[in-house]
Amino acid sequence: MNFNSKNNILSLSSAQVLIGFFCFFLNAGYVDAQNDFVKINQTNFQLNGKDYSYIGTNYWYGPSLYFQKEDKRGVSRLKTELDFLVSKGIMNLRVVAAAEGEGQIQSVIRVGPVYQTAPGEFKADNLNGLDLLLSEMGKRNMKAVLYFSNNWEWSGGFLQYLRWNDVVTEEQFRKKLSWDDLRDEVSKFYSCVPCKAQYLQQVVNIINRKNHLNNKLYKEDATIMAWQLANEPRPMRPAAVNDYVRWISEVAANIKKIDSGHLLTIGVEGEIGTENMETFSKIHSDKNIDYATIHIWPRNWSWYKELHDEQQFKKVLEMTTSYIGRHDSVMKVIGKPLVLEEFGYPRDQNSFAPSATTRVRDNFYDHILNKWKSGLANQSSLRGINFWAFGGKARPIENQHFWKEGDDYMGDPPMEEQGLYTVFDGDKSTWKVIAKYQKK
């Protein structure tokens, strides 16, 4: 069709002209086709009308690279790492969308840049890094899962909202609380009305944001596969379960009112994290929740005592299989997909050095990836995998275990030993395991 010819256009019917213009703008990139959005069909994800399953990773620090002063450590690093991931077939990234508050929290330096600096006060430019990440991922046909807040302190999270509203004291907020005290305090988030309102305002602002690089509204950007309520939101105490369930239902309904195009999930660890399987099933049965997630952390959950004990590792693999299987069974009944979006294992000898071997980790990865791959052919609900976590070109600083301001970001957040779970671009044996299942 020749749009430069006035006579040709005039000779066409109105319907033909409209169709022609639509196709022109679609091909020019001005219209996002709806089939570019990931959807669900029973326990399957679908993309462009075909089943979509994936091996992805956690790349929470991606937006932060924009703010590094040195290009080599910042924007160039981001683009190089995305290219590396694409070369390995890793096309799905789980990323933190925003951090709340400033300064140390629980004796930990939180990640940045901060989006909500005080209740209802937002620094729009501090999401420019997320703009860049989404823009660059879009160019590479990658998909992002973005979580809005955090159960844990390293990005501000629920504890920051509680401090803003004087539910916790300044002393409780700054010092390192015991595990029981932390559970007591964070569980109060779900009954704190102003806390939940401030959280929701942040959520709405992010969804309605326009990317300053590609001029797309986030809620219309097909690069985003899904929104996630938070990273590992737990009721923390059985007494908070009812408020927790109610909060999930209310927030999910609000999100779907303003963005029905994207998938929505909660971000939980599974039965561990929701107090029991009944709660896990209930929250994922909500009509506005599109799929479920689980996490598996053998070291953190004390599934073993000695890293290299073969019998203990055999038990870890059995517990891993059982954990996946129990949640798979629940999701088959509910009729929605399942994603294992966090799992990790230390390097050999519990070393943090990239030079250390990863034999045990590689065997653990191989076991999980085999369960995922074989399940695809056996009608499993487990459709996606995101290992924790990619660290790219960063490397730990010798004789310094924890992150300090100005250090390179890697897969391990500031409160964890740097190099503990990170998969670096140079971990050839681990990438070999991943490649084995990508090729299949």
pLDDT in tens, 353-391: 999 999 999 999 999 999 999 999 899 999 999 999 999
Half-sphere exposure of 205 (CA within 13 A, CB side): 19
- Give the span between the Cα atoms of 387 and 121, in whole angstroms: 34
Q: How far from each other are the two terminal CA atoms of the chain, in whole angstroms?
A: 43
Q: Cis before residue 389, ω within 30 degrees of 0?
A: yes
pLDDT at position 35 is: 60
Spell out the long-range contacts of 65-69 with Cβ–Cβ below 8 A and sequence spacing 24 or more.
65/129, 65/409, 66/128, 66/129, 66/132, 66/133, 67/112, 67/113, 67/129
CB 194 within 8 A of CB 205: no
> Is 189 within 8 Å of 182 (Cβ atoms)?
no
Q: How confident is the model at residue 11 (pLDDT cuts 50, 70, 90)?
A: very low
- 207 near 263, Cβ under 8 Å? no
Q: Give the E-state strand segments of 373-426 in sequence order.
A: 382-387, 390-392, 423-424
Identify the pLDDT of residue 31. Answer: 38
Length of the chain: 440
Radius of gyration of the chain (CA): 22
Q: Domains (ranges, CATH) in the chain?
A: 1-31 (no CATH), 52-439 (3.20.20.80)
| pLDDT on residue 440 | 54
pLDDT tens sequence across 149-197: 999 999 999 999 999 999 999 999 999 999 999 999 999 999 999 999 9
Give yes or no for residue 106 having a pLDDT over 60: yes
Tell me the per-residue pLDDT of 329-357, one tens digit each, with 9 for 90 and over.
Answer: 999 999 999 999 999 999 999 999 999 99
| Residue 12 scores a pLDDT above 70 | no
Q: What is the pLDDT at residue 416?
A: 94
**139-146: average pLDDT:** 98
**What's the whole-number average pLDDT of the chain?**
92
List of long-range contacts for 425-432, beta carbons under 8 Å, 24+ apart: 425/81, 425/84, 425/391, 425/392, 425/393, 426/354, 427/354, 427/358, 429/357, 429/358, 429/359, 429/362, 430/358, 430/361, 430/362, 430/365, 431/88, 432/362
Nearest C-alpha neighbor of 268 from the set 213, 238, 300, 229:
229
Interval 243-289: pLDDT, tens? 999 999 999 999 999 999 999 999 999 999 999 999 999 999 999 99
pLDDT of residue 22: 38
Comparing 137-146, 204-213, 397-406, which segment has the lowest mean pLDDT? Answer: 397-406
Among candidate residues 324, 401, 335, 404, the one with its CA nearest the CA of residue 370: 324
One-letter amino acid at 150 equals: N
Q: 54 forms bridges with which residues in the sheet?
A: 384
Integer CA distances (angstroms), 241 to 190, 217, 320, 322, 373, in order: 9, 34, 25, 24, 34
Confidence (pLDDT) at 112:
87
What percentage of residues in the chain have a pLDDT greater than 70? 92
- The pLDDT of residue 1: 39
- Spatial strand order of the sheet with 50-52 comes to 39-41, 44-47, 50-52
- At 33, is the pLDDT very low, low, confident or very high (cuts 50, 70, 90)? very low
Q: What is the pLDDT of residues 303-339, one digit of tens each?
A: 999 999 999 999 999 999 999 999 999 999 999 999 9
Cα distances from 217 to residues 45, 208, 222, in angstroms, run 23, 6, 10
Model pLDDT, residue 259: 98
Q: Omega of the bond prior to 413 within 30 degrees of 0, cis? A: no
User: Do 342 and 295 touch, CB atoms closer than 8 A?
Assistant: yes
β-bridge mates for residue 264, sequence order: 227
Global model pTM greater than 0.85: yes
